[in-house]
């Protein structure tokens, strides 16, 4: 049965996500969630060990202090996490 272009496109996103998961695993990251969609794949992790550089996306303040939402791109996937400390 031949594949259509939608299936091929989704399969390519799954392959990229798999490569990103392998890379994050090698860095020692704890993966807690993942979403694969037309707009792109998003992988949620716990704050990573040193070795994964991210960009500040949002700073959220609450009663316990500030939380920094961070993102990085790995193999075409968006990797995101939240940290409680300002990392320079």
For 49-78, write each residue's pLDDT tens digit. Answer: 888 889 999 988 878 788 889 999 999 999
Q: How high is the mean pLDDT of the chain? A: 89
Answer yes or no: is 57 within a domain: yes
Q: What is the pLDDT of residues 21-31, one digit of tens each?
A: 999 999 999 99
Contacts of 14 (CB under 8 A, 6+ apart): 36
Q: What is the pLDDT of residue 67?
A: 86
Q: What residue numbers bound the domain in which 40 lies?
A: 5-83
In a domain, 52, yes or no: yes
Residue 79 lies in a domain: yes
Instruction: Answer yes or no: is 88 within a domain.
Output: no
Identify the pLDDT of residue 73: 96
Is 4 a residue whose pLDDT tops 60?
Answer: yes
- C-alpha neighbours within 13 Å on the C-beta side of residue 38: 2
Q: What mean pLDDT is predicted for residues 21-44?
A: 94
Counting the structural domains of the chain, the total is: 1
* Three-class SS state of 25: helix
Q: Is residue 63 part of a domain?
A: yes
Q: Which helix (H) or strand (E) holds 20?
A: helix 5-27
């Amino acid at each position: 049965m031949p594949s259509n272009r939608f299936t091929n496109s989704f399969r390519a996103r799954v392959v990229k996500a798999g490569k990103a998961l392998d890379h994050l695993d090698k860095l020692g990251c704890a993966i807690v969630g993942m979403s694969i969609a037309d707009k792109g794949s998003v992988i949620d992790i716990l704050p990573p060990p040193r070795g994964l550089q991210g960009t500040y996306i949002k700073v959220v303040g609450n009663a316990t202090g500030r939380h920094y939402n961070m993102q990085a791109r790995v193999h075409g996937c968006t990797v995101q996490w939240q940290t409680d400390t300002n990392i320079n």
